Every structure is written in structure tokens, then in C-alpha cells.
Amino acid sequence: MAVDKSKAYVGIDNDVNGGMTDTGKIIRDAWVFGLIDETETCAGWTARGIETLWEKVNARWSEHGFRVGNLPPDLRERFDRIHAAAVARARTAGWDPDQDLAGD
């Protein structure tokens, strides 16, 4: 069965808003928890693949009460590093977090 490429994810590095999307957060959190390699952009993944990854990420967050402050030091350091780099990349790509809030 052929995969409909028009419905495949473009990859976090090609995502809108510099990857500051719900899917981008799932991928970054998967990197934090070591569920996928930090070089994996998920380009070409189907919605089902992303959903399966989200389920795994959600299970790992559940172990920590869904709180960054509950992460052990090694995961907290990885979280801070990955998310700070993502914010910097997104801002360089033109993402403005205040713009997202203005529409609400």
C-alpha cells in the first residue's frame, strides 16, 4: 500500500512556526525521553506514527506527573537544552510567541 505523501508530516525542521507546533512539541519531548534519536525529524511520518509517538511521550510524562520540575536532573537538563535550542531556532525563523497569543 502506497503512503499518501501529501498527508505525511513535513518534519520538525520544515514545520510552520519553526517547529513550535503540537507535533513539534511531541517530537522534542520524544527526544528528551530518548524515544527517538535527536536527529530524527519525523519527516514522512503518517498521522498514526505521530499519534503512536505521542502515546509513548504521554506515558513518559505520566511517570513524572506531567511536570518539568519533576524530571530527574539528567532529563531536566536535556529538556532545557532541547527546548531552549528550539525556541532560538524558531525565533530565528521568524516565530513570534506573542503573535500566537494576540489572536486569542
* pLDDT tens readout for residues 56-73: 999 999 999 999 999 999
Could you tell me the residue ranges of all domains in the chain?
16-97
**Residue 29 CB contacts under 8 Å (≥ 6 apart), including other chains:** 57, 60, 61, 79
pLDDT of 104 strictly over 50: no
pLDDT of amino acid 101: 52
For the chain, counts of helices (H) and of strands (E): 4, 0
pLDDT, tens digit, 9 for 90 and up, residues 13-55: 999 999 999 999 999 999 999 999 999 999 999 999 999 999 9
**Residue 83 CB contacts under 8 Å (≥ 6 apart), including other chains:** 28
Nearest to 61 by CA among 50, 70, 73: 70
- The more confidently predicted of residues 104 and 74 is 74
Please give the Cα distance from 81 to 42 (Å, whole number). Answer: 20
